[in-house]
Amino acid sequence: MSLVPWSKEAALRILATMCDEPGPILICLQALQAEFGYIPEDAVAFVADACNVSRADVHGVLTYYHDLRTSVPPQSSIRICVAEACQAVGSRELVTAAEGAFGTTLGAPNDLVEIESAYCFGNCALGPAAMVDHQLIGRASLEKLLAAVQGDEDK
Amino acid sequence: MSAITVFVPKDSAARSVGADRVAIAIAHEATKYGIDLTLVRNGSRGALWLEPLVEVATDRGRTAYGPVRVEDVPSLFSADFHLGGKHPLSLGLTDEITWLARQDRVTFARVGIVDPLSLADYEAHGGLAGLRRALSMAREEIISEVIDSGLRGRGGAGFPAGIKWRTVLQTTGDHKYICCNADEGDSGTFADRMLIEGDPFTLLEGMTIAAIAVGAVEGVIYVRSEYPDAIETLRQAIDIAREQGWLGKSVLGSLHVFDIRIRVGAGSYVCGEETAMLESIEGKRGVVRSKPPLPAICGLFGQPTVINNVLTLASVPAILAGGAVAYQARGVGRSTGTQVFQLAGNIARGGIVETRFGVTLDTLINDFGAGALTRRPVRAVQIGGPLGAYFSTSLFDLSMDYESLLAAGGMLGHGGVVVFDESVDMAVQAKFAMEFCALESCGKCTPCRLGSTRGAETIEKIINGLDLEGNKKLLLDLCEVMTDGSLCAMGGLTPLPVRSAMLHFAEDFGSRTGAAR
């Protein structure tokens, strides 16, 4: 997915299209993140103005949801399901192996990749499940993760 | 349309093991041999262990091949699979695959069979019959039909759907809502996702019937962000339903106004709790509301609101089309109809098993599931998601229905069955239950917000062998406080996996010196 560099003007254009929706804060933040990949701190004031709510309201929503992020995303995101069904088929071990292979730890991204734990992709009969960028991987293994990050889908 | 029709599922579970690549390879080979075939991207039949499951329409019915890998495609063509030819991956007629034939598909009747976004296909397989009948009935008649069917909430709580609808009907409001909870966050559950991806019109029809019954004008489907394919399918299905005059200012030419929009979640598990979901749809932090008032009286934006799970709403069209009696005749006791079980985790043959209530755990895990994927003995099963109880194999003759599970100290929840083999450490699982609660707690009530963190710490002490008896007593006491003192099921049911693990797997909470585990 190609992301657009953050700009106030582009952000305001997006906000103008949705600030009149009922209960707009979350969908505004989601729309900004879909466009720019993250929500910079500056955006809080713009969203508050557009939605006619306080900055505290926007900050509260922004910091509540796991999906919303305030930093620039790395090139690749690897999300490994570590909920029960995937635990039962070795997702904890997969996380450890991925951390070693990509030289990073959970929640501490380097420039190239970010490994995050996730809780269920609804692929619980074909676990461990992982999502690399927007591609869901069933029966995930380190080999499959490496192939997906390198864009080699035939693995 | 060509004479040959090949089906390759577009379900995201099938895609996760290569269905897209298989579909491309089939199209490519067909072009190479000059074979004119129509490729339909259907939902999954639910036998996920056979995915990607490729089917071909023949005179005798659909014949199946699976699991198909890209490298199998050339040999499938050599074996004339497109004419139903024999191949090492042949599974025979799909309808005769024992795993599927033994099921009783009602809610999932069309999933995997129809083209998910073909309204013509939907109607050809009985779609819209329920809605058409509902349009000819009085509101109270529709609700009576749903009450008589015995349909209970499939999201986990098991509350009678019709009673909830009646409350909304009887409450005054100028803009009533139908909210569909598609925030299927429980690990081990995927039926909502598969239904949406495989037969989205059924959900839309169920919501429309509910709207007509209670006089609602707007529907909202709250789908979790972890389900991008389901979101996309729903968007397209809603657009089609609008174009075809089913949603909008006049439902199928009647005087009823009803439209549906989608709100996407943002990675918060507790937003699957109905009042937290309402807050999230209103764009706020997903913090649980106190009840009363019930959402049926004061729900979304303060309006009377029906909140039902995907499977509950998706069961409604079949009930209206086939009548309450036919539905009610299935099941046992107060658990009427069918339940969509989801076999997950360490299981050889996982997927969707829709069957009448009353099936035993043993049948599900050993007959359908064929035991653990690792071929090691099954040791533990968690039923009903992260807030459900862990059971040992000694309880495998348990009847799977609302009341029996409750009596055994568990809950049916959303019907997820997660299997673990003998390598599982139940103290670690109990600790995870507390950690998950700590991570996902909305923070409104103290027992959940603080109790979960203290609980995880206490289990860690038990794992490390510190004051075992004292800490176990403390943990049980904490569980009691969380059960009785939490505002919603998040904190209130987190003790369920913890206590059941301690009860059924006491050996994992004992002294670890010298023992293997």
Q: Which CATH number belongs to the domain containing residue B310 in this structure?
A: 3.40.50.11540
pLDDT tens column, B359-414: 999 999 999 999 999 999 999 999 999 999 999 999 999 999 999 999 999 999 99
What are the structure tokens assigned to A70, written together?
Answer: 């305030």
CA B155 from chain centre, in angstroms, equals: 8
- Are B324 and B336 members of one domain? no
Q: What pLDDT does residue B44 have?
A: 98
CA B227 from chain centre, in angstroms, equals: 12
CB proximity list for B355: less than 8 A, separation 6 or greater: B102, B103, B104, B338, B339, B341
- Are B164 and B53 members of one domain? no
- Are B192 and B263 members of one domain? yes
Number of domains in chain A: 2
Domain boundary (B312, B328, B344) is at B328
Q: What pLDDT does residue A155 have?
A: 46
Q: What pLDDT does residue B335 have?
A: 87
One-letter amino acid of B401: D
What are the structure tokens assigned to B169, written together?
Answer: 């009907």
Q: What pLDDT does residue B512 have?
A: 75
Contacts of A134 in chain B (CB under 8 A): 228
Q: Nearest residue on chain B to A81, judged by CA atoms?
A: B187
Interface of B with A in 379-418 (CB under 8 A): 382, 386, 416, 418
3-state SS, B42-60, equals CCCCCEHHHCCCEEEEECC
- Are A81 and A133 members of one domain? yes
How far apart (Å, rounded) are the C-alpha atoms in residues A60 and A96?
A: 33
Return the CATH number at B347. 3.10.20.600
CA B25 from chain centre, in angstroms, equals: 31
CB proximity list for A134: less than 8 A, separation 6 or greater: A1, B228
Let me know if residue A69 belongs to a domain: no
| Closest CB to B342 among A66, A124, A137 | A124
B513 confidence band (pLDDT: 50, 70, 90): low
| Strands of the A130-132 sheet, one edge to the other | A113-118, A76-81, A130-132, A135-137
- Are B221 and B368 members of one domain? no
- For the cut 80, the answer to whether the pLDDT of residue B42 exceeds it is yes
- Are A16 and A59 members of one domain? yes
- Are A49 and A81 members of one domain? no
| Among the listed residues B195, B212, B215, the one whose alpha carbon sits nearest the alpha carbon of residue B203 | B195
Interface membership of B427 toward A (CB under 8 Å): no
Contacts of B344 in chain A (CB under 8 A): 85, 124-125, 127
Let me know if residue B114 belongs to a domain: no
How far apart (Å, rounded) are the C-alpha atoms in residues B424 and B70?
A: 34
- Whether B51 and A26 lie within 8 Å, measured CB to CB: no
User: What ipTM was reported for this prediction?
Assistant: 0.96
User: Of B307 and A111, which is predicted with more confidence?
Assistant: B307
- Whether B373 and A89 lie within 8 Å, measured CB to CB: yes
- Are B361 and B285 members of one domain? no
Most A-contacting residue of B10, B71, B183, B187 (CB-CB within 10 A), to test interface = B187
What are the structure tokens assigned to A47, written together?
Answer: 């969203």
Let me know if residue A13 belongs to a domain: yes
- Are A143 and A88 members of one domain? yes
How far apart (Å, rounded) are the C-alpha atoms in residues B365 and B375?
A: 13
Return the CATH number at A131. 3.40.30.10
Read off the pLDDT of each residue in B183-191 and give the average, rounded to a whole number. Answer: 96
Let me know if residue B107 belongs to a domain: no
How far apart (Å, rounded) are the C-alpha atoms in residues B62 and B6?
A: 9
| Among the listed residues B266, B274, B306, the one whose alpha carbon sits nearest the alpha carbon of residue B156 | B274
- Structural domain that includes position B34: 4-94
How far apart (Å, rounded) are the C-alpha atoms in residues B421 and B417?
A: 13
- Are A102 and A38 members of one domain? no
Which residues are B4's β-sheet partners?
B37
Q: Nearest residue on chain B to A27, judged by CA atoms?
A: B283
Alpha-carbon distance B26 to nearest alpha carbon in chain A (angstroms)? 15
- Are A59 and A83 members of one domain? no
| Closest CB to A26 among B190, B266, B301 | B266
Let me know if residue B360 belongs to a domain: yes
Q: B477: exposed, middle or buried (C-beta count within 10 Å: 0-12, 13-18, 19+)?
A: exposed
pLDDT tens column, B197-213: 999 999 999 999 999 99
| Among the listed residues B413, B405, B511, B498, the one whose alpha carbon sits nearest the alpha carbon of residue B464 | B511
Contacts of B22 in chain A (CB under 8 A): none
Interface of A with B in 58-117 (CB under 8 A): 60-61, 64-68, 81, 83-89
- Whether B286 and A65 lie within 8 Å, measured CB to CB: yes
Most A-contacting residue of B16, B235, B280 (CB-CB within 10 A), to test interface = B16
- Are B493 and B348 members of one domain? no
- Are A100 and A141 members of one domain? yes
Domain boundary (B78, B94, B110) is at B94
Q: What pLDDT does residue B2 have?
A: 63
Mean pLDDT, rounded, of chain B? 96
* DSSP output for B87-106: -TTEEEEGGG-HHHHTS--S
- Are A57 and A109 members of one domain? no
| Strands of the B351-356 sheet, one edge to the other | B351-356, B338-345, B416-421, B378-383, B390-392
Report whether B184 contacts B196 (CB < 8 A): no
- Whether B226 and A122 lie within 8 Å, measured CB to CB: yes
How far apart (Å, rounded) are the C-alpha atoms in residues B144 and B69?
A: 49
Interface membership of A20 toward B (CB under 8 Å): no
- Are B337 and B219 members of one domain? no
Let me know if residue B113 belongs to a domain: no
Report whether B207 contacts B247 (CB < 8 A): no
Let me know if residue B359 belongs to a domain: yes
Domain boundary (A41, A64, A87) is at A64
Interface membership of B11 toward A (CB under 8 Å): no
Interface membership of B369 toward A (CB under 8 Å): no
Q: What pLDDT does residue B156 have?
A: 83
Alpha-carbon distance B486 to nearest alpha carbon in chain A (angstroms)? 20
One-letter amino acid of A122: G
Return the CATH number at B446. 1.20.1440.230
- Return phi, psi of residue B244, to 5°: -90, 10
Let me know if residue A117 belongs to a domain: yes
How far apart (Å, rounded) are the C-alpha atoms in residues B246 and A43?
A: 39
Interface of B with A in 431-450 (CB under 8 A): 432, 436, 440
Let me know if residue A49 belongs to a domain: yes
- Are B39 and B154 members of one domain? no
* pTM for the whole structure: 0.96
Let me know if residue B141 belongs to a domain: yes
What are the structure tokens assigned to B243, written together?
Answer: 């174009």
**Hey, is B516 helix, strand or coil?**
coil
A1 confidence band (pLDDT: 50, 70, 90): low
Report whether B340 contacts B154 (CB < 8 A): yes
Alpha-carbon distance B169 to nearest alpha carbon in chain A (angstroms)? 23
Interface of B with A in 328-357 (CB under 8 A): 342-347, 350-351
- Are A23 and A45 members of one domain? yes
Q: What is the largest CA-CA distance in chain B?
A: 75
Let me know if residue A88 belongs to a domain: yes
- Are A91 and A139 members of one domain? yes
pLDDT tens column, B88-146: 999 999 999 999 999 999 999 999 999 999 999 999 999 999 999 999 999 999 999 99
Report whether B215 contacts B177 (CB < 8 A): no
Q: What pLDDT does residue A111 have?
A: 81
Let me know if residue B151 belongs to a domain: yes
- Are B144 and B179 members of one domain? yes
Q: Let me know how long chain B is.
A: 517
Alpha-carbon distance B289 to nearest alpha carbon in chain A (angstroms)? 16
- Are A97 and A133 members of one domain? yes
Report whether A127 contacts B345 (CB < 8 A): yes
Number of domains in chain B: 4
| Closest CB to B268 among A30, A66, A121 | A66
Q: Nearest residue on chain A to B226, judged by CA atoms?
A: A121
- Are A35 and A80 members of one domain? no
Could you identify the residue written with the tokens 């991570």? B439
| Closest CB to A139 among B17, B187, B419 | B17
CB proximity list for B240: less than 8 A, separation 6 or greater: B117, B119
Angle at CA B61, nearest 5°, toward B57 and B62?
50
- Report in angstroms the alpha-carbon separations of B68 from A88, A142, B109: 25, 22, 24
End-to-end Cα distance, chain A: 21
- Structural domain that includes position A55: 8-64
- Whether B21 and A61 lie within 8 Å, measured CB to CB: no
Let me know if residue B169 belongs to a domain: yes
| Among the listed residues B505, B502, B494, B496, the one whose alpha carbon sits nearest the alpha carbon of residue B392 | B505
Let me know if residue A52 belongs to a domain: yes
How far apart (Å, rounded) are the C-alpha atoms in residues B266 and A57?
A: 16
CB atoms within 10 A of CB A54: 10
What are the structure tokens assigned to B271, written together?
Answer: 């937003």
- Are B125 and B83 members of one domain? no
Q: What pLDDT does residue B476 have?
A: 98
Q: Nearest residue on chain A to B429, judged by CA atoms?
A: A84
How far apart (Å, rounded) are the C-alpha atoms in residues B368 and B29?
A: 34
Q: A7: exposed, middle or buried (C-beta count within 10 Å: 0-12, 13-18, 19+)?
A: exposed
- Whether A88 and B420 lie within 8 Å, measured CB to CB: yes
How far apart (Å, rounded) are the C-alpha atoms in residues B118 and B137?
A: 27
CB atoms within 10 A of CB B147: 17
- For the cut 70, the answer to whether the pLDDT of residue B183 exceeds it is yes
What are the structure tokens assigned to B49, written together?
Answer: 């262990």
Q: A42: exposed, middle or buried (C-beta count within 10 Å: 0-12, 13-18, 19+)?
A: exposed
| Among the listed residues B192, B152, B182, the one whose alpha carbon sits nearest the alpha carbon of residue B272 | B182
- Report in angstroms the alpha-carbon separations of B83 from A35, B56, B79, B90, B294: 47, 7, 9, 12, 57
CB atoms within 10 A of CB B189: 29
Domain boundary (B389, B421, B453) is at B421
Return the CATH number at B83. 3.40.30.10
pLDDT tens column, B285-344: 999 999 999 999 999 999 999 999 999 999 999 999 999 999 998 878 888 889 999 999
Report whether B275 contacts B235 (CB < 8 A): no
- Whether B345 and A60 lie within 8 Å, measured CB to CB: no
How far apart (Å, rounded) are the C-alpha atoms in residues B468 and B462?
A: 6
Most B-contacting residue of A84, A131, A137, A155 (CB-CB within 10 A), to test interface = A84
Alpha-carbon distance B458 to nearest alpha carbon in chain A (angstroms)? 20
- Whether A65 and B48 lie within 8 Å, measured CB to CB: no
Let me know if residue A71 belongs to a domain: no
- Residue A53 carries which DSSP code? -
Let me know if residue A19 belongs to a domain: yes
CA B362 from chain centre, in angstroms, equals: 21
